């Protein structure tokens, strides 16, 4: 069989590319959907999900590599001539779908890779040694969500185009009973001789534009979708009055998250707090530095500290820098108002807490509910079925005036 295409049939190189890329793309769709459907519970199940996504991504980047090589090869090749040049509309639709497929086989893996690169803290790894993140893509939860939305709309579009393409191939086999499929799949010797009618360049150009328009429509739909508010970090809180230092004697820093509907509790064993507080004015300042690696969280400690969540390797510390102010409303007596930075994302935060000062001893106790999405944590867990959005952080400490 010829390596190159002839006027009657595709050569073996084009066939090899067509069928391997087709199989990889269908496999990527199946794996993506399968990964999303896996049960989400304990650590073992999370690992299974990560592994499936890793295979999904690896299959996707392999498809991208082969698709690029395929395009380069196709540019050097002539195209087998149409079998029914008179059927203008049918030819136009088939060619539009081909253009949609060409674009889709490039844009889908790229959108997946962009999503993978923008997701803060990373995600399941691509199983290859050639680097993970695309250059110049910032780690940004909102951006990752955009790419994810495009990736999800994109697979539906690509799936629809593949379906049309397969239906077209079946029509040639069942209704037309012509040799269209044998040009790509069967013996090229048996492929029928096409008529030597020539067509102008305009129909091809229009089909290319139609294919581009399909994907541009999808991109514009996602770009025009409203953004989630609250991504911006407000200016920092006002400074509090002059103070005196307090040293923490003992204390606990706990967290509670929801995993597959049930609560998992854990604690950070290593953290430091620098506290200034003036009992007269009831104002002060606190800076808390938390060692993420010191977290224990039931059976999912490693997952929680891993790249998909807190990513201790990239962001070893969480920091809370706040002004202490007397509370103005009912409830706990004080508020720590400032900036909480977790996994590299800073969010303006109010932490209400109860403070009792007894001579040189102080006891403080408070809790706070945060939304993991505000810190770009677990962006790939777009709903609450595996890991809830809300995480409760609570502390209880005693401190001594210095
Ligand atoms: C699995 C079922 C599939 C069947 C039966 C099939 C069949 C065919 C056939 C018969 C042709 C030649 C059409 C002609 O000569 O005019 C063709 C071309 C083509 N197919 Fe498929 N295909 C399948 C899947 C896919 C998939 C999944 C993709 C990509 C996502 C794809 C992309 C293409 C493209 C871009 C062409 C045009 C090739 C060129 O002009 O060089 N196909 N396919
Ligand atoms: C041939 C290319 C690809 C196709 C057809 C494809 C298709 C899919 C599908 C069908 C899903 C499930 C969507 C859903 O649950 O609604 C998915 C999810 C995903 N894909 Fe791909 N994918 C491709 C390549 C890639 C690549 C190369 C990467 C990364 C390097 C990637 C990263 C992801 C991620 C992170 C998700 C989860 C998105 C989320 O749930 O937010 N994909 N993909």
Instruction: Render pLDDT for 98-114 as a digit per residue (tens, 0 to 9).
Output: 999 999 999 999 999 99
Residue 226 has pLDDT above 90, yes or no: no
- Output the average pLDDT for the chain: 88
Helix (H, G, I), strand (E, B) or coil at 359: coil
Ligand nearest to the CA of 34: 2
Indicate whether 201 and 336 sit together in one domain: no
Is residue 234 domain-resident?
Answer: no
Give the number of C-alpha atoms closer than 13 A to the C-alpha of residue 91, restricted to the C-beta side.
Answer: 15
The Å distance, Cα 165 to ligand 1 centre, comes to 7
Indicate whether 134 and 277 sit together in one domain: no
Give tens-digit pLDDT for 304-336: 999 889 998 888 888 898 999 998 888 899 999
Instruction: Name the residue with tokens 């998250």.
Output: 257
Ligand nearest to the CA of 132: 2
Helix (H, G, I), strand (E, B) or coil at 276: strand
Tokens of 356: 């009792």
Q: Is the CB of 15 under 6 A from ligand 2?
A: no
**pLDDT given for residue 40 in this prediction:** 64
Is residue 249 domain-resident?
Answer: yes
- Domain containing residue 189: CATH number: 1.20.950
**pLDDT given for residue 366 in this prediction:** 94
Indicate whether 277 and 172 sit together in one domain: no
- Domain containing residue 248: CATH number: 2.40.128.110
Would you place residue 236 in the very low, low, confident or very high pLDDT band (cuts 50, 70, 90)?
A: very low
Q: Which atom of ligand 2 approaches the CA of 124 most closely?
A: 35
Indicate whether 191 and 255 sit together in one domain: no
Give tens-digit pLDDT for 84-99: 988 999 999 999 999 9
Q: Is the CB of 146 under 6 A from ligand 2?
A: no
The Å distance, Cα 183 to ligand 2 centre, comes to 31
Separation of alpha carbons 248 and 289, rounded Å: 13
Instruction: Name the residue with tokens 């990752």.
Output: 144
**pLDDT given for residue 263 in this prediction:** 83
Q: Which of 97, 158, 169 to mutate to test the pocket of ligand 1 (most atoms within 8 A of CB)?
A: 169
Output 384 or 206, whichever has higher pLDDT.
Answer: 206
Q: Are strands 334-342 and 345-358 parallel, antiparallel or unpaired?
A: antiparallel
**pLDDT given for residue 374 in this prediction:** 93
**pLDDT given for residue 91 in this prediction:** 94
Would you place residue 237 in the very low, low, confident or very high pLDDT band (cuts 50, 70, 90)?
A: very low
- Which residues' Cβ are closer than 6 Å to ligand 1? 14, 18, 21-22, 25-26, 74, 79-80, 98, 101-102, 104-105, 162, 165-166, 169, 180-181, 183-184
Residue environment code for 234-271, b if the CB has 16+ CB neighbours within 10 A, otherwise e? eeebeebeebeebebeeeebebbbbbbeeebebbbeeb
Indicate whether 145 and 76 sit together in one domain: yes
Give tens-digit pLDDT for 361-392: 999 999 999 999 999 999 888 888 888 999 99
Q: Is the CB of 59 under 6 A from ligand 2?
A: no
What is the separation of C-alpha 99 from the centre of its chain, rounded to a whole number of angstroms? 27
Give tens-digit pLDDT for 120-160: 544 578 999 888 889 999 877 678 889 999 999 999 999 99
Average pLDDT over residues 15-35: 98
**pLDDT given for residue 230 in this prediction:** 36
* Closest residue CA from atom 24 of ligand 1: 22
**pLDDT given for residue 120 in this prediction:** 58
**pLDDT given for residue 231 in this prediction:** 37
Write down which residue in 162, 196, 224 finishes a domain.
Answer: 224
Separation of alpha carbons 294 and 39, rounded Å: 28
Whole-number percent of the chain with pLDDT over 90: 56
Indicate whether 174 and 61 sit together in one domain: yes
**pLDDT given for residue 167 in this prediction:** 98
The Å distance, Cα 18 to ligand 1 centre, comes to 6
Q: Is the CB of 57 under 6 A from ligand 2?
A: yes
**pLDDT given for residue 140 in this prediction:** 75
Indicate whether 286 and 346 sit together in one domain: yes
Strand (E) or helix (H) holding 134: none
Ligand nearest to the CA of 29: 2
Which alpha helices (H) appear in 76-174, and where do they start and end? 88-118, 141-171
The boundaries of the domain holding residue 73 are 12-224
Residue 79 has pLDDT above 60, yes or no: yes
Total tally of structural domains belonging to the chain: 2
Is residue 42 domain-resident?
Answer: yes
Please, are residues 114 and 135 in contact by the beta-carbon 8 Å criterion?
A: no
Residue environment code for 158-184, b if the CB has 16+ CB neighbours within 10 A, otherwise e? beebbebbeeeeeebeeeeebbbebbb
Helix (H, G, I), strand (E, B) or coil at 7: coil
Is residue 5 domain-resident?
Answer: no
Is residue 284 domain-resident?
Answer: yes
* Closest residue CA from atom 33 of ligand 1: 98
Indicate whether 208 and 304 sit together in one domain: no
Instruction: Name residue 349's beta-bridge partners.
Output: 338
Length of the chain: 402
Ligand nearest to the CA of 145: 2
The Å distance, Cα 326 to ligand 1 centre, comes to 69
Indicate whether 57 and 109 sit together in one domain: yes
Indicate whether 209 and 269 sit together in one domain: no
Residue 83 has pLDDT above 60, yes or no: yes
Q: Which atom of ligand 1 approaches the CA of 183 most closely?
A: 15
Output 151 or 289, whichever has higher pLDDT.
Answer: 151
What is the separation of C-alpha 270 from the centre of its chain, rounded to a whole number of angstroms? 30
Residue 254 has pLDDT above 80, yes or no: yes
Is residue 262 domain-resident?
Answer: yes
Residue 272 has pLDDT above 80, yes or no: no
Q: Which of 23, 110, 17 is nearest to 69 (CA)?
A: 17
Is residue 289 domain-resident?
Answer: yes
Indicate whether 207 and 266 sit together in one domain: no
Is residue 2 domain-resident?
Answer: no
**pLDDT given for residue 46 in this prediction:** 66
Indicate whether 306 and 376 sit together in one domain: yes
Q: Which atom of ligand 2 approaches the CA of 123 most closely?
A: 35
Q: Which atom of ligand 1 approaches the CA of 77 most closely?
A: 41
Q: Which of 50, 133, 146, 151 to mutate to test the pocket of ligand 2 (most atoms within 8 A of CB)?
A: 151
């Amino acid at each position: 069989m010829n390596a190159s295409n002839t006027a009657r049939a595709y050569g073996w190189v084009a066939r090899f590319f067509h069928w391997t890329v087709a199989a990889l793309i269908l496999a990527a769709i199946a794996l993506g959907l399968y990964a999303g459907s896996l049960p989400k519970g304990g650590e073992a199940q999370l690992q299974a999900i990560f592994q499936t996504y890793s295979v999904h991504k690896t299959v996707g980047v392999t498809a991208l590599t082969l698709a690029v090589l395929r395009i380069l090869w196709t540019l050097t090749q002539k195209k087998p001539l149409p079998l029914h040049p008179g059927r203008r509309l049918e030819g136009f639709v088939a060619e539009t779908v081909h253009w949609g497929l060409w674009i889709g086989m490039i844009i889908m893996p790229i959108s997946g890779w962009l999503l993978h690169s923008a997701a803060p803290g990373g995600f399941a790894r691509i199983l290859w040694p050639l680097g993970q993140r695309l250059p110049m893509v910032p780690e940004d939860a909102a951006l990752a969500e955009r790419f994810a939305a495009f990736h999800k709309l994109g697979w539906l579009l690509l799936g629809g185009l593949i379906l049309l393409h397969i239906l077209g191939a079946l029509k040639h086999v069942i209704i037309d009973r012509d040799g269209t499929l044998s040009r790509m799949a069967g013996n090229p010797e048996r492929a029928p001789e096409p008529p030597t009618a020539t067509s102008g360049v305009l129909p091809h150009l229009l089909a290319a534009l139609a294919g581009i328009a399909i994907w541009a429509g999808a991109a514009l739909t996602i770009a025009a979708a409203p953004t989630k508010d609250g991504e911006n970090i407000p200016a920092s809180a006002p400074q509090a009055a002059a103070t005196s230092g307090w040293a923490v004697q003992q204390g606990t820093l706990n967290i509670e998250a929801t995993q597959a509907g049930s609560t998992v509790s854990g604690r950070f064993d290593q953290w430091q707090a620098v506290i200034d507080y003036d009992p007269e004015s009831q104002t002060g300042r606190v800076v808390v530095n938390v060692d993420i690696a010191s977290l224990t969280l039931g059976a999912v400690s490693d997952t929680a500290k891993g790249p998909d969540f807190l990513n201790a390797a990239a962001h070893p510390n969480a920091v809370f820098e706040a002004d202490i102010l007397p509370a103005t409303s009912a409830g706990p007596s004080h508020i720590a108002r400032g900036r909480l930075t977790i996994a590299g994302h800073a969010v303006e935060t109010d932490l209400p807490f109860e403070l009792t000062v007894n001579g040189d001893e102080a006891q403080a106790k408070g809790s706070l509910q945060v939304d993991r999405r505000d810190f770009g944590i677990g962006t790939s867990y777009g709903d609450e079925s595996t890991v809830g959005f809300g995480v409760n952080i609570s502390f209880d400490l005693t401190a001594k005036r210095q």
